[in-house]
Structure 1
Amino acid sequence: MTEFGKTLTVTETPIPGLLLVDLPVHGDSRGWFKENWQREKMVAAGLPDFGPVQNNISFNDAVGTTRGIHAEPWDKWVSVATGRIFGAWVDLREGATFGTVFTAEIDPSRAILVPRGVGNSYQTLEPDTAYAYLVNDHWSPDAEYSFLNLADETAAIAWPIPLDDVEISAKDLAHPRLAEVTPIGPRKTLVIGASGQLGTALRTELGDVAHIEYATRETFDLGAADLDFARRWRDYGTIINAGAYTAVDLAETPAGRRDAWAANVTGVAALARIATENGLTLVHVSSDYVFDGAQAEPYAESDPVQPLGVYGQTKAAGDAVVATVPRHYIVRTSWVIGEGRNFVRTMASLAERGIAPRVVGDQIGRLTFTADLASAIAHLLAQRPAYGVYNVTGAGEPQSWADVARAVYRLTGHDPAGVSDVTTAEYFAGQAGPVAPRPLNSMLDLSRITATGWTPRDAAISLEEYLATDA
């Protein structure tokens, strides 16, 4: 008999993400009423905002009808409209809890949220039982399932009605034992810009594993008209946008302005739309160029943006678009050093050739090495702190570009006195072609990222290691 008057309560089970929920049911002599899914109340009670898009109803007229065990590629909210069922769930996802079993009875006053990859099965305990399930993806013939035999000896499910006495399909009877089941991997992560400096570091950090997909400009076109259908996006959990237009001076030309807006805003808007519509986490890399560099103290994530040039304007606009995605991390950084041509390698080459360069001394910031930037992104995705903007740079004392150049000379065995300071205005005076305005203060406050448990490395130590490795 349905229990009336329960308090909305969410209970964790031994299977991570499998949540048993007691539902308030209101009844009298006429019958009963319940809110089967009420997003605002249920999210407040601790359920994830899983975004259902399809509602199905299954009716079983005979006691003992048994279905399963099916692991599906979507999240599933299961509740009963009439009658009562015995449910059995087995974790078929790869990891430490693979094979974990949980069972419970479900009637109209109880429901369960079944995460993607957890096998679910149901046995009818009363005649004329109907149960509903909401899923957060549309059914597709291309969807990949996994299955487990109802009689698997390892799971050893204590069915209320013996399987020899119930109605089961021949297909369900033929499912494999647990030892033969291939564990279901996590949702995919797509790394865009995989051939760039940060993309290369992300490949090192995340590894070449089955659920990580790396895309280059040649294999993934952000401007494609069919981008919404370029992937089965519901199979993905995260998009990391490591690509961008970064030619700050060229962005001041008509062609560069067009390309910068296309890559940094229009393309990002397409990713934001896909992430929002499919419940994905979007990781986006921002820049110190969204600030004008006029304030004396380091910039916090909450400081208003005031970009000086076209590049900074496109990055600020892209950030604003990404901020509309419910699940987003904007990683704001500065003075990035990684594989390929960069300031550090240029200074090392000048030192080796005995050249005494004039280097800008009135721009202040900290170097950020791509290995550290990739580490911070992996940390955010693993720990899942509050969504929003996080500053990520190297730690340590602020330096000018001239200070960095002198450190490179010293660390490579050359005289740092060979580096002389010039102002930004002096450096670019008389230069042919467009020059983008630079923020003089690129210091970013790191207190928010450190509060999540990630500790930035001292930029001076990272520089020394980088040069030692690069030698």
Structure 2
Amino acid sequence: MTAFGKALAVTETTIPGLLLVDLPVHGDSRGWFKENWQREKMVAAGLPDFGPVQNNVSFNDAVGTTRGIHAEPWDKWVSVATGRIFGAWVDLREGESFGAVFTAEIDPSRAILVPRGVGNSYQTLEADTAYTYLVNDHWSPDAAYSFLNLADETAAIDWPIPLAEVEISAKDLAHPRLADVAPIPPRTTLVLGASGQLGRALRTALGDGAHVEYATRADLDLSSPDLATARRWRDYGAIVNAAAYTAVDLAETADGRAAAWSANASGVAALARIATENGITLVHVSSDYVFDGSNPDAYTEADALAPLGVYGQTKAAGDVVAATVPRHYVVRTSWVIGDGRNFVRTMASLADRGVAPRVVGDQIGRLTFTDDLAAAIVHLLSTQAPYGVYNVTGAGTPQSWADIARTVYRLTGHDAESVTAVTTEEYFAGQDAPVAPRPRNSVLDLTRVTATGWTPRDGAEALEAYLAADRSPGSESAPGSESAPGS
């Protein structure tokens, strides 16, 4: 019997992500009414905003009709329009919960959210039973499905009506036992900018598993008119955009301006459309250059954007469009150091050659090492931190480029006093090529990312560890940097 007057309530089950829901049903002598899916109320109650795109209805006229255990690569919201069913769910996803079982009866006052990769099966307990299901993807012959035999001894489902007495299709009877089931893989994580210093750090952090894909521009062109069909995007769970145009001075030229806007704004807009339409989490890596550096305090995620030059303007535009994606992380960082050409390696090389450099001393910030930045991105994704903007840099006392240069000289056994601090204007004086304006204050507040449980490394300790590893036997340091603010 349908229970009337229940309050909307969400109950977790023994299978991660499989949520049993009590639905309010209102009835009188004329019949009954319920809100089968009410996005605002149900998301507020704790259900995910899973974005259904199709509504299906299944009808069974005979008691005992049993449908096989099928796992599909989409999420499914199942409820009963009339009648009553016994439902059995088996986790067929890769991972520790593979093989976990949950069963329950479903009538019009109950529904269940079945996550992607969880096998579902139903047995009708009343004649003329109809159940409906919303799914957040369209059926495709190219999608990955998995199946389990209804009589599997490991799952050991206690069917109310013995399987020998019910109607089952020949196809369902032929499905494999659990030991032979091909698990449903997780959605793919796509890393763009795979050949860059952050892309390489992300490869180290995420590994080379079958469900992580790395792409360069040659592999996936964001300006292509065929981008929407370049992949089966519904199979992707996250896109990490580590690609960008970063030549800040060249961006002030005519050709550089066009290239910067194409990569940092138009490309992000294309990704945002893909992510929004397919329920993908977009991680977009941004920059301190979205600010003008006039703030006397550390910049928070809520501070107004005020870029100075073309590069900063294009990064700010990318931030704005990335934030339109329902599931997004905009990760702002500064002064990035990785395994390619960079300021630290330039200073170490100059120190080894006995050069006494002039280094900018009126720009203040913190170094960010790519392995830390990659770790923070993985943390946000794996913990499903609240979506939004996060500042991610090294921690510790902010310094100028000249301060950092002196530290590099000292740590490499050279005279730190041979580094001369100059103003930004002095450093760039006499250059014929265009020079982009730099923010003088690049310090980013780290309170929000720290609150998610990720602890930034102290910048001084990270720098010392980086130099030690970089100069150890067998390392492949690459001296020099075309953008290093010191010479």
- Alpha-carbon shift at residue 297 of structure 1 (Å): 1.0
2:9 aligned residue = 9
- CA-based RMSD: 0.8
Equivalent residue runs for 1:380-399 within 5 Å: 380-399=380-399
- Alpha-carbon shift at residue 186 of structure 1 (Å): 1.3
1:344 aligned residue = 344
Q: Which AA in structure 2 matches 1:13?
A: T
1:126 aligned residue = 126
1:218 aligned residue = 218
1:92 aligned residue = 92
Q: Distance in 2 between matches of 1:202 and 1:358?
A: 33
1:52 aligned residue = 52
Equivalent residue runs for 1:398-409 within 5 Å: 398-409=398-409
Matched, 1:163 2:163: yes
Matched, 1:284 2:264: no
Matched, 1:146 2:156: no
2:476 aligned residue = none
1:61 aligned residue = 61
Q: TM-score of the superposition, structure 2-length normalised?
A: 0.96
Equivalent residue runs for 1:36-435 within 5 Å: 36-435=36-435
Secondary structure of the structure 2 residue equivalent to 1:468: helix
Q: Distance in 1 between matches of 2:397 and 2:179?
A: 55
Q: Distance in 1 between matches of 2:366 and 2:144?
A: 46
- Alpha-carbon shift at residue 185 of structure 1 (Å): 2.0
Secondary structure of the structure 2 residue equivalent to 1:67: strand
Deviates more, 1:412-421 or 1:364-373: 412-421
2:147 touches 2:175 (CA, 8 Å); kept in 1? yes
Question: Tell me, which stretches of 5 or more residues in structure 1 are unaligned?
Answer: none
Q: Which AA in structure 2 matches 1:329?
A: Y
Deviates more, 1:417-426 or 1:177-186: 177-186
- Alpha-carbon shift at residue 183 of structure 1 (Å): 2.2
Q: Distance in 2 between matches of 1:352 and 1:220?
A: 41
Secondary structure of the structure 2 residue equivalent to 1:225: coil
Q: Which AA in structure 2 matches 1:42?
A: M
Matched, 1:461 2:461: yes
2:92 touches 2:184 (CA, 8 Å); kept in 1? yes
Secondary structure of the structure 1 residue equivalent to 2:175: coil
Q: Which AA in structure 1 matches 2:232?
A: R
- Alpha-carbon shift at residue 397 of structure 1 (Å): 1.0
1:444 aligned residue = 444
Q: Distance in 1 between matches of 2:396 and 2:12?
A: 42
Q: Distance in 2 between matches of 1:307 and 1:3?
A: 59
- Alpha-carbon shift at residue 62 of structure 1 (Å): 1.0
Q: TM-score of the superposition, structure 1-length normalised?
A: 0.99
Q: Which AA in structure 2 matches 1:124?
A: T
Secondary structure of the structure 2 residue equivalent to 1:204: helix
Q: Distance in 1 between matches of 2:54 and 2:459?
A: 50
Secondary structure of the structure 2 residue equivalent to 1:119: strand
Q: Which AA in structure 2 matches 1:425?
A: E
- Alpha-carbon shift at residue 207 of structure 1 (Å): 0.6
2:190 touches 2:215 (CA, 8 Å); kept in 1? yes
Deviates more, 1:361-370 or 1:24-33: 24-33
Q: Distance in 2 between matches of 1:101 and 1:292?
A: 55
Q: Distance in 2 between matches of 1:392 and 1:134?
A: 38
Q: Distance in 2 between matches of 1:129 and 1:295?
A: 65
2:4 touches 2:25 (CA, 8 Å); kept in 1? yes
After superposition, the C-alpha distances for 1:253-310 in whole angstroms (9 at most, x for unaligned) are: 0110000000000000000111111111100011000111112111111111110000
Q: Which AA in structure 1 matches 2:282?
A: L
- Alpha-carbon shift at residue 384 of structure 1 (Å): 1.6
2:328 touches 2:388 (CA, 8 Å); kept in 1? yes
Secondary structure of the structure 2 residue equivalent to 1:312: helix
Q: Which AA in structure 1 matches 2:160?
A: P
After superposition, the C-alpha distances for 1:19-59 in whole angstroms (9 at most, x for unaligned) are: 11111111122211111111111111111110000011111
- Alpha-carbon shift at residue 410 of structure 1 (Å): 1.1
After superposition, the C-alpha distances for 1:183-238 in whole angstroms (9 at most, x for unaligned) are: 22211110000110100000001111111111111111111101111111111111
Secondary structure of the structure 1 residue equivalent to 2:262: helix
- Alpha-carbon shift at residue 158 of structure 1 (Å): 0.4
2:144 touches 2:184 (CA, 8 Å); kept in 1? no
- Alpha-carbon shift at residue 82 of structure 1 (Å): 1.2
Secondary structure of the structure 1 residue equivalent to 2:46: coil
Q: Which AA in structure 2 matches 1:58?
A: S
Q: Which AA in structure 2 matches 1:465?
A: A
Q: Distance in 2 between matches of 1:5 and 1:421?
A: 74
Secondary structure of the structure 2 residue equivalent to 1:467: helix
Q: Distance in 1 between matches of 2:444 and 2:38?
A: 41
2:146 touches 2:184 (CA, 8 Å); kept in 1? yes
Q: Distance in 1 between matches of 2:444 and 2:28?
A: 61
2:80 touches 2:132 (CA, 8 Å); kept in 1? yes
Q: Which AA in structure 2 matches 1:179?
A: A
2:73 touches 2:184 (CA, 8 Å); kept in 1? no
Q: Which AA in structure 2 matches 1:378?
A: V
Runs of 4+ in 1 over 6 A off after TM superposition: none
- Alpha-carbon shift at residue 142 of structure 1 (Å): 1.1
| Identity among equivalent pairs (%) | 82
Question: Tell me, which stretches of 5 or more residues in structure 2 are unaligned?
Answer: 472-487
Q: Which AA in structure 2 matches 1:286?
A: S
Q: Which AA in structure 1 matches 2:140?
A: S
